[in-house]
Amino acid sequence: MYLDRELDQILLDDLQEHISLCENCMAFLKTMEKTIALSRAYYHKKCGRVPKSVSEHMFYHLRIIYKKRKI
Amino acid sequence: MEQIHTKALALLKENELVERAKKHDHAAFEELVKRNQAKIYNLGLKLLGNKEDAADLLQETFINAYYALPKFEGKSAFSTWLYRIATNNAFMKMRKKKIPLVRFESEKNDSEQPTGSFNIPDWSNDPRAHLKNEELRMLIERSIDALPGKYRTIFVLHDIEGFSTEEISKMLNLSVPAVKSRVHRSRVFLRDRLSQYFRTGFKQGVNL
C-alpha cells in the first residue's frame, strides 16, 4: 500500500519518516521497487504486435461464426 | 442499420461501435477487435508465456466476446470486459496444463517482513539495460513462471497493466483486500527470488 501511495496521508508521512531512518526498510523498499521495474522491463521486451497470420486466422474464424449465425 | 464505410468506423467511439456490434454490424465488431487485439494477445503472452497459447487465447476471447456481447451492459470499458473474459480463459488453460493457480511452491519465501539487510549494487536507472544480462532475464522469467497462476494474473493486471485494485476485484470477483494481499505476496515472492541478484549480482554466481 505504501508503494502504491494508497495510505492515509498521516500514516504515509509517519512511514516515510521511519523509512528514511531504517536501513532495512529502505533496502526492502528499494528492492521491491526494482522488482516491479525489472518485471515491467521484462514484459515490455516480451510483448509486441500480433503476428499477421494469427490475426488473419482469428478473423477467418469469426467470419465462419457470423455465417453460422445467419443460417 | 445504416452501413458505414470501414474508414468511418475507425472514427467512432468505443461505445458507438459496441451499440452497432450488438445490432449485428460485423464490421463494427471487427473494428473493436482491431483496436483491442494487441492488448489481449500481449496479456496472453504475459499470463501463459508462449506465442501459441497467446494466439489461442486471443481467438477464444474474441469468439466468447462475440457470443456474450448482448450481455455487455457497458458498466466498464469494453477493453476491461475483454480482460475479464481473457483472464477466465487463461485460468482454464492453466488448469488444463496443471499450473497451480493459488498455491505457492514453497511458503518459505512468503514472509511479509523485511528479510534482512541487502547490499544493493550500483543499479543503472534504466531497468531495460539490466535485461541485456541474459542470466537476469532468465531469472525473472523463471521467477514469474513460479508464481501461482492467479497471483501472476493479479500481479500482471496491477503492476504491469496498471489496473486498480477495485477494477481487478470486479474483473476477478475477489474482494479488494484479497486483491491487495495477492499483489503484495506476488511482489514479495518475486523480490525474494530476485534478492539473490540484488545481493551478489551474477558475477559471484546465483544458485537458481
Predicted local confidence at residue B109, as pLDDT: 44
d(CA B45, CA B6): 29
The answer to whether the Cβ–Cβ distance between B33 and A47 falls below 8 Å is no
Domain boundaries, chain A: 9-70
Residue B207: exposure state from Cβ atoms within 10 A (0-12, 13-18, ≥19) = exposed
User: Which residues in chain B have their CB less than 8 angstroms from residue A64's CB?
Assistant: none
Mean pLDDT of all residues in B44-62: 96
What is the per-residue pLDDT for B107?
46
What residue type is assigned to position B78 of the chain?
F
Q: Which helix (H) or strand (E) holds B105?
A: none
For testing contact with chain B, the best of A33, A34, A35, A53 (most B CBs within 10 A): A35
Q: Shortest CA distance to A60 belongs to which of B82, B105, B55, B98?
A: B55
**B6-96 in CATH: which number?**
1.10.1740.10
Alpha-carbon dihedral angle through residues B200, B201, B204, B207, given to the nearest 10 degrees? 80
The mean pLDDT of B18-25, rounded to a whole number, is: 93
Cβ contacts of A33 on chain B, cutoff 8 Å: none
Mean pLDDT of chain A: 86
Asked whether residue B53 carries a pLDDT value surpassing 90, the answer given is: yes
Residue spans per domain, chain B: 6-96, 101-208
Cell numbers that stand for A34 in this block: 526494482
Q: Tell which phi-psi region holds residue A23, choosing left (phi > 0), alpha (psi between -120 and 50) or beta.
A: alpha
Q: What pLDDT is recorded for position B103?
A: 77
pLDDT at position B70 is 94
pLDDT average, residue stretch A3-30: 81
Q: Do B38 and A28 touch (CB under 8 A)?
A: no
Task: Give B101-208's CATH code, choosing from 3.90.230.10, 1.10.10.10, 3.60.21.10, 2.30.30.40.
Answer: 1.10.10.10
Task: Summarize pLDDT for B57-99 with one digit per residue, the tens.
Answer: 999 999 999 999 999 998 889 999 999 999 999 999 999 988 8
How high is the pLDDT of residue B114? 41
Where residue A25 falls among pLDDT bands split at 50, 70, 90? confident
Which residues on chain B are in Cβ contact (under 8 Å) with A49? 38
Contact call for A50 and B58, based on CB within 8 A: yes
